Structure 1
Amino acid sequence: MSKRRITQETFDAAVRENIEEFEMDADEALREAVEQFESQGVDLTCIVKVVPAASSDDNQEEQTHEVLQALESLRIRNNTAALPDATADIKCFTEQCSLGFAQRYLAAQKGAYPVILSYCKKCMEERDYTLAGLSALAALTDGQPDLLDKEGRQFLVDVLEKHQADSSVTCVAICVVRHCCIKHEQNRQDLVKGGILPLLTGAITRHSDCAVLVKEAAWALRVMTFDDDLRATFGHAHEHAKSIVLEHNGLKILIGAAKAHLSNTSALSELCATLSRLAVRNEFCQDICDLGGLKFMMTLLADSYESPVAYTEKTNRCVFFSSSSSSSFLNCLLLLQELVRQVLSAIRAIAGNDDVKDAVVNAGGVDLIVIAMNRHINNPAVCEQACACLSVLALRKPNNCKVIVENGGVIAAVQAMKIHPGSMNVQKQACMLIRNLVARMRSYCQQILELGAEGLICQAVETHRDCGDIGKAALRDLGCKVELRELWTGKHGSITN
């Protein structure tokens, strides 16, 4: 059942009543209002849970939230003041929207989008003001792609064309594009028709030395291949991926960018994630391999065994951390694990091509994948992708199955199942791996059963509904007793549940 919703005005009135009628201090009044509405089943996600501040004229009768104060000031200055006079207001508005979704939502409800877009168009000739306006637009549209309209789409294309040489403006404009395309199929289609794809790939080529921009542009390209808008009956994810590859040389550009930023963990993660989204055809998988994509992925996996490394944008260099600096070490380890996960995901995607499967195995990929899983065995996301990767390599390839078993792939998968019993994805991919290994190589059944696979698979089937079919298939191929339900006997009547 959906939760109830209230307006910001209703919430603010309750806080004000607590202060005026019950003589609570501001913090107590706010806390009491939150508890009161939550106990009534009200969703406060879109509510700014802050006591409204007094307006700039110190009139205590008119209190409003800072984001609305900045918006109102911008609304007035947009028509009456020069651009420099609005600088403080646009920065304040951006800062307030960056605090959380509730602030952005409130601003949008009060008509912020046309005000900010008007400011952006007004200052398009001035670089610094354009940057400030785009930053405000990026903050406002984060999580609110429905705000973008036809005028805004054209503005984004125009600003990317006009400021192609400016990496900072380009980067922020691409960020707005990304925000407006997540979970919004129509914006994606309209922007692609408007010529956004060559602007994104061109930005990577033109500013190949700027890791932040490369990451942002790759991210935006990846979003163009999403199919995440529940409102759209049919999406163009596949068509967009094909266009990026065939019409805009996307694979070569992305692989070239990855090779240029081998020390930037964050950028590499995004580039690998984007490549995996573009491997939608058998020939594209082979192209990634032929362009050196597989080789650099193998290099990344091998290099990930070294100490965690972080790339600092300010100093343009790599910094190695020891375990003594715990906070920095942990952050770097998380970045490293995300990179490993995305590399494994990319290998999994391109290994859909049978020739690439063999290339991965011949390049020592199985050993690297198993080592990566063992090293990051406590990370369920890495274990999931590693098992999935090995599963794809084993599919219809008996020789590859032999390499996987001999290099400890089954042992690692079973260990992952033991460590992550609550992760449905780990359990499912491990079951898939075991099933693919024994489907054509029954000689491995006893070896796998001796590792305790049967009990773990049974537990996965019982615990996770989505593991039912693949888990039972694995048990069947292992030669274990398994109860298979006959859903339909061919007789007249409906399918049993």
Structure 2
Amino acid sequence: MAPTAAAAASAVRGISQEAFEALVRENMEDLGMDPDEALDDALQTLTLQGVDLSGIVKCIPGVTSVKDNPVIQTIDRLKSIITSLVSSESSDSPDEKVDEIVELLDKLCELCSAEGSDGASIVTRNGGVELLTKLCSSLDVKSERALVSTLKSLNSIIRDVQSTETFRQCGGPKIVMDILHRSREYPNLLDSGFAVVAAASSGNEVVKESLMDLKVDELILEILREPSKNELRSLYDAIRVLLTPDDSRVAASQVYGYARRFAKIGIPDVLVNALRKGVSSSSLPSACAALKAIAVNDEICLSISENGGIEVTLQFIDKSGEQNSKVVARACCSLLSKLAGSDANKTAIVQQDGLNRLIKLSSRFSEDPSVIQEVMNVITVLSLRLPENAARAIEAGAGDLAVQAMQKFPASNQMQRQACLMIRNLVVRNPENRTILLNNGIEKLIRKAKGTHQSCKDAATAALRDLGLDDYNA
């Protein structure tokens, strides 16, 4: 799907390396600036003009050279090796160059990941994406060490639309898919390959489409069916990114249809089974996010529940509290709130003592507003249009949770807003809950949130109105 005209029109201005150096040279020769002053002035001038300087090597003509940059030196050496490997006259094989290739790639990753480094942009601007993609196609999976390093390097530089588009245009999706198909016995290659799938799909609808055309969903299903592959965190990340509508250049994303394709071939059931058999705490948040991304409609949410998805999610919520893992707690609550989008699932969650388990979790993480916020979000969804659930939520302690959290974390605007949303659902169809909450001082807390946080204004106003207060707009 092509970018919209509006997106194309709003593209950031760029500048070539040659033009940048010419400006620095002009500052020195025509304006008499010293080298450092000439460079600083050029950078400031271009920045004020809104020019994108990412990937530009900040060198001073006659003093320093682009060739002195360690990123450029590493790329040039890799280019030399790859040219040698693909040359029909060369007697070298990839295996003979493995050590040097790995050393150079490790150095490239280090340069690109250094704090404040513009290394990834420099690599992209100087043909690095094309280079590493070509290297991927030149190496056999038996050269596992070199291929893993190549994929990791590729993953480290694919960060924006420019790099993902370059990856697509040089055949990257097919090359990586071919590697994944040939790497079933190589977990490290699978992990690195799916990390590239996730990176390349991020923010790029066309790459997503290319990978779906190559039947990445069917490959994912085959791999997930192997219990030994349940710890491939990058595979879960790839599912989530493939099903996220994150490309602002397109008017309508196709990811909703992709999610239904994933569901139709049985990926949700396999994901639930993987969770049931036990996924490590490091991979669990990604697995939950993957399952959440597929749960795009009532039918899919119900099928996940019928296969035990709610039961296993609640079990992990319990364990996250016992193990004091707030990352897992947030991920499981986020998944549970998505599954609760189905009214039948709301009932199932409450019947499995979900409300009491959520309140218990909030008490375990009473010092962490981010977890409390997620707990409140689940209760908000569970109480929507179901007064019996709202009544049970108050019985479980949701009202006390709102009061205590709003008192304790007045500066947490997101949590304060979620508390207002939860309160509204708890009282809109339950007059008896209004009395309980008002007697506990909730009005003062809501008004304080409304006056303190702009993001809370609408939610707070709605909560005050549904509490039966006449001056809710005050």
Structures share a fold, TM > 0.5?
A: yes
- Say which is worse superposed, 336-345 or 455-464, in terms of deviation: 455-464
- In the TM superposition, residue 251 of structure 1 has moved relative to its aligned partner by 1.0
Tell me how far apart the structure 1 counterparts of residues 51 and 21 of structure 2 sit (CA, whole Å): 9
Residue equivalent to 1:135: 152
Instruction: Report the secondary structure of 1:209's partner residue.
Output: helix
Alpha carbons of structure 1 residues 462 and 60: separation in structure 2 relative to 1, 3 Å: closer
- Equivalent residue for 1:93, pick from 105, 108, 111: 108
Alignment of 1:250 with 2:267, yes or no, is: yes
Residue equivalent to 1:72: 76
- Equivalent residue for 2:290, pick from 246, 265, 274: 274
1:314-347 deviations in whole A, cap 9, x for unaligned? xxxxxxxxxxxxxxxxxxxxxx111101111111
Tell me how far apart the structure 2 counterparts of residues 3 and 242 of structure 1 sit (CA, whole Å): 36
Q: Which runs of 5+ in 1 are unaligned?
A: 53-58, 309-335, 486-497
1:242-286 deviations in whole A, cap 9, x for unaligned? 111112x11111111112334x21211111122222221212222
State the one-letter code of the partner of 1:139. Answer: S
Query: Superposition pairs for residues 69-468 of structure 1, below 5 Å?
Result: 69-81=73-85, 82=92, 83=94, 84-85=96-97, 86-87=100-101, 88-99=103-114, 102-124=118-140, 126-128=142-144, 129-143=146-160, 144-150=163-169, 151-206=171-226, 208-213=227-232, 215-247=233-265, 249-262=266-279, 264-308=280-324, 336-468=325-457
Tell me how far apart the structure 2 counterparts of residues 178 and 34 of structure 1 sit (CA, whole Å): 39
Alpha carbons of structure 1 residues 109 and 271: separation in structure 2 relative to 1, 3 Å: same
Tell me how far apart the structure 2 counterparts of residues 3 and 455 of structure 1 sit (CA, whole Å): 47
State the one-letter code of the partner of 1:182. Answer: S
Residue equivalent to 1:488: none
- In the TM superposition, residue 8 of structure 1 has moved relative to its aligned partner by 6.9
- In the TM superposition, residue 89 of structure 1 has moved relative to its aligned partner by 2.6
Tell me how far apart the structure 1 counterparts of residues 450 and 363 of structure 2 sit (CA, whole Å): 24
Contact map agreement 2:202 2:246 (CA 8 A) in 1? yes
Alpha carbons of structure 1 residues 228 and 96: separation in structure 2 relative to 1, 3 Å: same
Alpha carbons of structure 1 residues 304 and 395: separation in structure 2 relative to 1, 3 Å: same
Contact map agreement 1:428 1:466 (CA 8 A) in 2? yes
Alpha carbons of structure 1 residues 36 and 178: separation in structure 2 relative to 1, 3 Å: closer
| Count of aligned positions | 442
- In the TM superposition, residue 406 of structure 1 has moved relative to its aligned partner by 1.3
Please tell me the root mean square deviation across aligned C-alpha atoms, in Å.
Answer: 3.4
Tell me how far apart the structure 2 counterparts of residues 360 and 35 of structure 1 sit (CA, whole Å): 61
TM-score of the pair, normalised by structure 2: 0.83
Tell me how far apart the structure 2 counterparts of residues 422 and 38 of structure 1 sit (CA, whole Å): 39
Whose RCO is larger (CA < 8 A, sep 6+)? 2
State the one-letter code of the partner of 1:115. Answer: L
- In the TM superposition, residue 96 of structure 1 has moved relative to its aligned partner by 2.3
Tell me how far apart the structure 1 counterparts of residues 41 and 360 of structure 2 sit (CA, whole Å): 49
- In the TM superposition, residue 294 of structure 1 has moved relative to its aligned partner by 1.2
- In the TM superposition, residue 44 of structure 1 has moved relative to its aligned partner by 10
Instruction: Report the secondary structure of 1:231's partner residue.
Output: coil
Alpha carbons of structure 1 residues 166 and 374: separation in structure 2 relative to 1, 3 Å: same
Tell me how far apart the structure 2 counterparts of residues 412 and 184 of structure 1 sit (CA, whole Å): 41
Tell me how far apart the structure 1 counterparts of residues 47 and 206 of structure 2 sit (CA, whole Å): 37
Alpha carbons of structure 1 residues 467 and 134: separation in structure 2 relative to 1, 3 Å: same
Tell me how far apart the structure 2 counterparts of residues 35 and 409 of structure 1 sit (CA, whole Å): 58
Contact map agreement 1:209 1:260 (CA 8 A) in 2? no
Tell me how far apart the structure 2 counterparts of residues 61 and 181 of structure 1 sit (CA, whole Å): 35
Alpha carbons of structure 1 residues 252 and 3: separation in structure 2 relative to 1, 3 Å: closer
1:435-455 deviations in whole A, cap 9, x for unaligned? 111111101212101222112
1:159-193 deviations in whole A, cap 9, x for unaligned? 11122222111111111110001111111112111
Tell me how far apart the structure 1 counterparts of residues 41 and 176 of structure 2 sit (CA, whole Å): 39
Contact map agreement 2:57 2:66 (CA 8 A) in 1? no
Instruction: Report the secondary structure of 1:481's partner residue.
Output: coil
Tell me how far apart the structure 2 counterparts of residues 356 and 396 of structure 1 sit (CA, whole Å): 13
Contact map agreement 1:141 1:147 (CA 8 A) in 2? no
State the one-letter code of the partner of 1:132. Answer: S
Tell me how far apart the structure 2 counterparts of residues 62 and 231 of structure 1 sit (CA, whole Å): 33
Alpha carbons of structure 1 residues 40 and 482: separation in structure 2 relative to 1, 3 Å: same
- Say which is worse superposed, 4-13 or 216-225, in terms of deviation: 4-13
Tell me how far apart the structure 2 counterparts of residues 236 and 465 of structure 1 sit (CA, whole Å): 34
State the one-letter code of the partner of 2:127. Answer: G
Tell me how far apart the structure 2 counterparts of residues 436 and 286 of structure 1 sit (CA, whole Å): 23
State the one-letter code of the partner of 2:407. Answer: K
